[in-house]
Structure 1
Amino acid sequence: MDMIHEGFVELGINPIIGEYVLLGVCPPGKTLDKLRIGNNPVVRSHSVIYAGTKIGSGFQTGHDVLIREGNVIGDNVSVGSHTVIERENQIGDGVRIHSSCFIPEFVIIEEKVWLGPGVTILNVLHPPCPRFEDCARSVRIKKNAKVGGNVTIGPRVTIGENSLIGMGSVVTQDIPDNVVAWGNPVRLRKEIGELTCVLGYYETPYQWEGL
């Protein structure tokens, strides 16, 4: 069975809601706007989405996803199983978030970003900081960036447009547009246009994106 909190949820047409899903949850002591989800959503079993979040059309989750209040999520976004998205993030159209990712508060993820499984984003330098609400508004992943599996992104970091972060990296500095970076700590390695397709299917990876 699923549980939709009446008065706190507005669903578009053709929703598919799995078993044991909770929609429109309100934290104790808070008054929130409705949870609004656009057309053709698929929310799989054991997922929880709080009130006060706005989600576009074509949204999909895996199983056991948690999305807190105050998020603004665009069209055609998918969120993999066991991922946690804390409150008040901005996530653009066409973003793909794989399984077991953690996104804290106040992150900006622009359109068509791809996050591999197990990506962890951190947003405060000195937890638990009394001015958390001020200092945590800092992480930004720009349009069309790709972040490999098990990458950790530290506070106050911007990852540039079209850039690629290799798997397992620890990102503690800003990454420019159109570069490839990997390592712990991360280091710039090459321009995105210098990549080669080792299997020979394309002259260069991301050729289909015009890069």
Structure 2
Amino acid sequence: MTDFFVHSQGLVDEGAQVGSGTRVWAFAHINSGAVVGEDCNICDHTFIETGVLMGNRVTVKCGVHLWSGVTVEDDVFIGPNATFTNDRVPRSKVYPSQYANTVLRVGCSIGANATMLPGLEVGECALVGAGSVVTTNIPAHALVYGNPARIKGWVCACGEKLSMNENAVADCCGKTYHLTNGVLEVSSVA
């Protein structure tokens, strides 16, 4: 007996770990050795390979493939058809001794059709715009978009764009944010 839902056309291999309350929809496939946390939503036509580690309350929209070496922390959103890679020098029938590790930190969001190159980290609550190509690490709370993705602003934990004043301070959701040397920090909570 399972305490998660699998659509009749979904596939969870024996040996995959899936947390309670998680929903796996049509044509989604979770490999043996993958770990998916509680209350996740794994939408249609997704693939989660052996070695993927996923936290709780993660949303993976349609058409996403997560490869070995990808770690997804809690409360992450991955938009439709976002693309992840794990091999820095891909060649047919030539396999690396170790795949590159990609980490999506707590609460970050990856927009539709974004491409993530291997071995990168997207910081806590960062927002990657749709169609972006991510080639470098993204700091916490950064708003990035473009090809290549570049920092275009900063977002609150709720996802709203922060309007920095002349002192590089912004308020949102009862929090005060300070931007110092390219690092956004929460300095107080109301």
The interval holding the TM-score normalised by the smaller chain is: 0.7 to 0.9
Aligned to 2:52: 89
**2:65 is matched with which residue: 102, 113, 117?**
102
Q: Tell me which residue corresponds to 1:181.
A: 144
Following superposition, the deviation at residue 102 of structure 1 comes to 1.1
Match of 2:132 among 163, 169, 178: 169
Give yes or no for the alignment of 1:117 onto 2:83: no
Unpaired segments ≥5 residues, structure 2? 163-169, 177-185
Deviations 1:91-133 (A, max 9, x none): 0011010011111112100000000111110011111385524
- Which structure has greater strand proportion? 2
Cα displacement (A) at 1:61: 1.5
Q: 1:100 to 1:155 in 2, by over 3 A?
A: same
Q: Secondary structure of the equivalent of 1:87?
A: coil
Measure, in 1, the Cα distance between the counterparts of 2:113 and 2:53: 21
TM-score, normalization by structure 1: 0.72
Structure 1: distance between partners of 2:174 and 2:107: 13
Identity of aligned residues (%): 27
**Residue 132, structure 1, aligned to residue 96, structure 2:** yes
- 2: distance between equivalents of 1:133 and 1:44? 35
Counterpart among 21, 24, 37 of residue 61 in structure 1? 24
Q: Which residue of 2 aligns with 1:195?
A: 161
CA–CA distance in structure 2, aligned partners of residues 190 and 101 of structure 1: 26
Number of residue equivalences: 166
Tell me how far 1:86 sits from its aligned partner.
1.2
1:144 and 2:110 matched: no
TM-score (norm 2): 0.80
Structure 1 residues 49 and 209 mapped into 2: Cα distance closer, same or farther (>3 Å)? farther
Could you say which structure has the higher helix fraction? 1
Code of the residue aligned with 2:96 in structure 1: it is F
Which string of whole-angstrom CA distances, capped at 9 and with x for unpartnered residues, describes residues 131-167 of structure 1? 5242x14111000001110111001110000000000
